[in-house]
Structure 1
Amino acid sequence: MESIVRAVDVGFGNTKYVTGATGADIRCSVFPSVAYPSARDLSAVPIDGLFYEVGPEVNLAADTFRATQMHDRYTETPEYLALLRGALNQMKVPAIDLLVVGLPVAAFLAKKAALEKAMTGRHEVGGGQTVTVRKALAVAQPQGALVYYASLHEKLKTIEHEQSLIIDPGARTFDWLVAKGMRLVQKKSHSINRGMADVLQAIATEISEDIGTSYRDFDAIDVALRTGKSPMIYQKPYDMTRLMPIARTIAQQAVSSMMQWIEASYSFQNIILVGGGAFLFKKAVKEAFPKHKIHEIKDPMYANVKGFQIAGMNYATSILAKEGQFHSTGATAGGAA
């Protein structure tokens, strides 16, 4: 019987998850990484006596406080668990043989074992429903993008002899991963807190000073950056053109920090740009690597979670199916060099 494999990427901005996979067809969905607690709600995710509203319609439960948990212990919070369980609920399966999840590069080695343990077992997902996870595997988030890129370009074998750099600007963190083949080179890979949230906050601060009142509609700023359409403020379009140099400066700062960790950039056969902030950081990355082709992936927001799914299916086929049991191993997708 074929193993049921699923993947979840709980990011600081969005929670991405796989709803199903048939061969190369990986179906994904997403909802905001926002969890609103309440004392009673039988349809929400129960954790430690509270119920957390999460999922695609979470904005209907929104209050004036945007309940996010942007800090280094994020994966240990009830909000993280609520988001993970919200994704499990959306998958519509009672049990998962292998669940693949991700961690920022800087937290990978320190938190891998604890996260895998926390993900394994029986999860209450709301409405009296439960999902049992029989085994969990945590990988560095950009490593998923590397697997997905190699799969897309049919390089899963040839890439074993290449050196790659995967750059993943997300909501809170700017992650980069240096890999030899599929193995993470830990000493050259890292994360810094210089992601899209910093861009949105800086622009919101400038707008607040301009209009004379606190402006915190980060979603409107994000949409404006992605579409080029001005946000509506006091019933009028607000021209953000003069604020764009702020966004570009933050992107340049993140890339400059990365360059201090990387030696001999000429040795990279593949430089891959993914993540929800890829569109904004692309110019800074290209300026840093003028002699390289920067590979971009369609729907970059889903690159990590699709790679998690592929890695999980390969793992299930090569390890779990052959041995007929679950056990800890140095899987390709989670190894470090």
Structure 2
Amino acid sequence: MHPTFPLYYVGFEVGSGFAGLKLLPADGLTLVQDLVTLPSFLADGDIVTLLKGSDPHAKLADVLQPSDYVLSLEDHTYFLGRLLAHGTHSHNAFNDERRYWSEHAQVLLLCLACILIPERCFELRLVTALPVSLYERTRRQRVKQALSQQYRFSFNGRSREVIVKCGYVAMEGQGILIHCGDASSQQAVIDVGERTTDLVAAEGQRLLIPLCKGEQFGVGQLVEDLQQLVWRYKRKLSIEKAHALLTAYAHHQPYPSIPTGASSLPDEEIMQVITGSLKRLARALSSFLIGTWNVEGAPAGTQFDKIYLGGGGAYYFEEVVRQALQECHIVTVPDPEHASICGYAELAASLDEDRWEEAP
């Protein structure tokens, strides 16, 4: 550790819809906020253009509003958060596996950390994850090498210096095992995320690789169907607003108003699209669960003492999971969308000092 840099243990997920970061300060102090999520999109930014409509003497900090983030790294400026609409070429690199070890991941990590950490200089000791479908030695090493660096950059107009050491690259969903599981039983995780659903199996905390599998479906398909619905009215629906509709559906709350010109999007159409999407995805998810965890002569999934359901999709697919694995002990974890990054942070804080000295 740098002698003057505050140290934080970190759980981090790049995410395909939302990136997330959880902090555990090494000094044990309680933070006002220790967890943050952000749309996992970057846009190319131009600070000069951003300042054009303001006072001629205004500085960047003068024009930024809450949830506006500007990060400049290696002669490139990115807009994040609410500033995405003010940039160009907004993307989340979903179809590129390099997103987990490219500058895309670096920028998201640094931005999330700077949102939470006030110090100009600090050190992060990090655990992050790869989807099951990408989980192998070479890619894990690429992630560790790409993220483990000493960064000098600016965030919202203020210079920062951050040392990052990546001590371990987990399997997506493994954080739920760390956060909620135990040390000895046969256990598994169903992690339904934005774009991927990962099945993780373990004996205690040791992964059972043949029973781990991932597929590319998740909450993102629900978001896309809602966006298509709104597009029929010649309007665009942001990911954030689509998630607000889904959250209202899951918690039986009134839907936020979505303007469609002179009126608003009808509640019955929202309900129809969401229920139709869930029905379609339910068949795929059920087949995936049963096919992966099939047991000869016994119901699927019964080789496990307990199965944990997590990820943002837990709110929408709990009944589907319970129907598909009727004979299993299913536990929907508290705050399922954050359970994985909490587990990664806990793992980071528990790793031996030698692991950090070996970090690239």
Q: Judge same fold: TM > 0.5, yes or no.
A: yes
Contact 1:178 1:186 in 2 (8 A): yes
User: Which secondary structure state, in structure 2, belongs to the residue aligned with residue 300 of structure 1?
Assistant: coil
Is the aligned partner of 1:67 residue 2:91?
yes
Distance (Å, rounded) in 1 between the aligned partners of 2:310 and 2:141: 26
- Deviation string 1:232-273 (CA, Å, 9 cap, x unpaired) is 232324222222122232143134223322232211111101
Residue 285 (structure 2) pairs with residue 254 (structure 1): yes
**Aligned AA (1:268):** F
Task: Give runs of aligned pairs for residues 39-78 of structure 1, distance below 5 A.
Answer: 39-40=46-47, 44-54=70-80, 58-63=81-86, 66-71=90-95, 72-78=97-103
Q: Give 1:311-322 correspondences, 5 Å limit.
A: 311-315=347-351, 319-320=352-353
Q: How far, CA to CA, are the matches of 1:214 and 1:77 in structure 2?
A: 33
For residues 133 and 47 of structure 1, the distance between their equivalents in structure 2, rounded to whole angstroms, comes to 15
Letter in 1 for 2:242: I
Partner of 2:13: 9
Contact kept, 8 Å, 1:4 with 1:97, in 2: the verdict is yes
Q: CA deviation at 1:173?
A: 0.9
Q: Does 1:190 align with 2:213?
A: yes
The unaligned stretches of length 5 or more in structure 2 are 49-59, 62-69, 296-300
The residue that corresponds to 2:55 in the other structure is: none
Query: In the aligned structure 2, how far is the partner of 1:325 from the partner of 1:79?
Result: 23
Contact 1:103–1:139 (Cα < 8 Å) also in 2: yes
Residue 308 of structure 1: CA displacement? 0.5
Larger radius of gyration: 2
- CA deviations over 1:182-207 (Å, ceiling 9, x no partner): 12222221221101111221333345
The answer to whether the 8 Å contact 1:95/1:134 transfers is: no
Letter in 1 for 2:161: T
Q: Where does 1:224-235 land on structure 2 (aligned, <5 Å)? A: 224-228=245-249, 229-230=254-255, 231-234=257-260, 235=263
Aligned partner letter, 1:291: E
Secondary structure at the counterpart of residue 260 of structure 1:
helix
C-alpha displacement of 1:302: 1.1
For residue 11 of structure 2, what is the amino acid of its counterpart?
A
Runs of 4+ in 1 over 6 A off after TM superposition: 23-26
- Distance in structure 2 (CA, Å) of the matches to 1:313 and 1:269: 27
Contact persistence 1:20–1:28 (CA under 8 A): no
Contact 1:203/1:246, CA 8 A, preserved across alignment: no
Alignment partner of 2:129: what SS?
strand
2:53 corresponding residue in structure 1: none
Which amino acid in the other structure matches residue 187 of structure 1? P
In the TM superposition, what is the alpha-carbon distance from 1:48 to its structure 2 partner?
4.4
* Residue 137 (str. 1) matches residue 168 (str. 2): yes
Matches within 5 A, 1:257-276: 257-264=288-295, 265-276=301-312
Q: CA contact under 8 A between 2:198 and 2:214: conserved in structure 1?
A: yes
Distance 1:258 1:300 in 2: 19
Per-residue CA deviations over 1:124-181 (Å, capped at 9, x if unaligned) read 342321101244321112111111003xxxxxxxx33311110111111111111111
- 1:120: which partner in 2? 148
Q: Which has the higher helix share?
A: 1
Question: C-alpha deviations, 1:291-316, integer Å up to 9, x for none?
Answer: 2232112211110111011111111x
Equivalent residues in 2 for 1:87-102 (5 A)? 87-92=112-117, 94-96=121-123, 98-102=125-129
Aligned pairs, number: 310
C-alpha separation between the residues in 1 aligned to 2:356 and 2:285?
A: 43
Alpha-carbon separation, structure 1, partners of 2:201 and 2:331: 15
- C-alpha RMSD of matched pairs (Å): 2.8
When residues 137 and 90 of structure 1 are mapped into structure 2, their CA distance, relative to the original with a 3 A threshold, is farther
Is 1:107–2:131 an aligned residue pair?
no
* Structure 2 partner of 1:86: 111
Out of 66-75 and 285-294, give the one that drifted further: 66-75
Aligned residues: percent identity? 18
